[in-house]
Amino acid sequence: MSHGLNKEQRYDFMVAVLKKHAHAYPLMTDDQLRDYAELIHIFLNTDNDTSQKGAVATMIGHVENATYMNRAKEKAIEAGEHHKAIKVAKKMIEKGYTYEEIHELTELALEEINQITL
């Protein structure tokens, strides 16, 4: 049987992991957080090096997944906002707004506004 870190080392290591992963906790689902808590328990209460490494690897996976999903959600929101700005710009062009006014109000680039009219 392979022995990993002693109890004090495990707690010190887990404190560092918790600090490093703190940004991801609000992004995790309740199920991910429960699993994460169980993995902490496994890590802190086993002397088996393989179990400790597996627990930490799975914890990292949860953090990476939550972070990835959050980025994907943000990109989708940005794409939706951009699409909406283009629709608004088209209506503004129809109503006679200048490109500068449209740029100021929609934050679209002037080049992009010019492309709308082509």
Domain count, the chain: 1
Asked, for residue 21, whether it belongs to a domain, the answer is yes
Asked, for residue 93, whether it belongs to a domain, the answer is yes
Task: Convert the pLDDT of each residue in 56-91 to its tens digit.
Answer: 999 999 999 999 999 999 999 999 999 999 999 999
Asked, for residue 31, whether it belongs to a domain, the answer is yes
- Give Cβ neighbours of residue 52 (< 8 Å, ≥ 6 apart): 4, 5, 10, 42, 43, 46
Asked, for residue 2, whether it belongs to a domain, the answer is no
Rounded to the nearest 10 degrees, the angle between the axes of helix 110-117 and helix 99-106 is: 120
% of the chain exceeding 90 in pLDDT: 82
The pLDDT confidence band at residue 1, using thresholds 50, 70 and 90, is: very low
Asked, for residue 1, whether it belongs to a domain, the answer is no
Task: Convert the pLDDT of each residue in 20-31 to its tens digit.
Answer: 999 999 999 999
Could you list the residue range(s) of the whole structural domain that residue 19 is in?
7-117
Enter the pTM of the model. 0.64
Asked, for residue 27, whether it belongs to a domain, the answer is yes
Asked, for residue 99, whether it belongs to a domain, the answer is yes
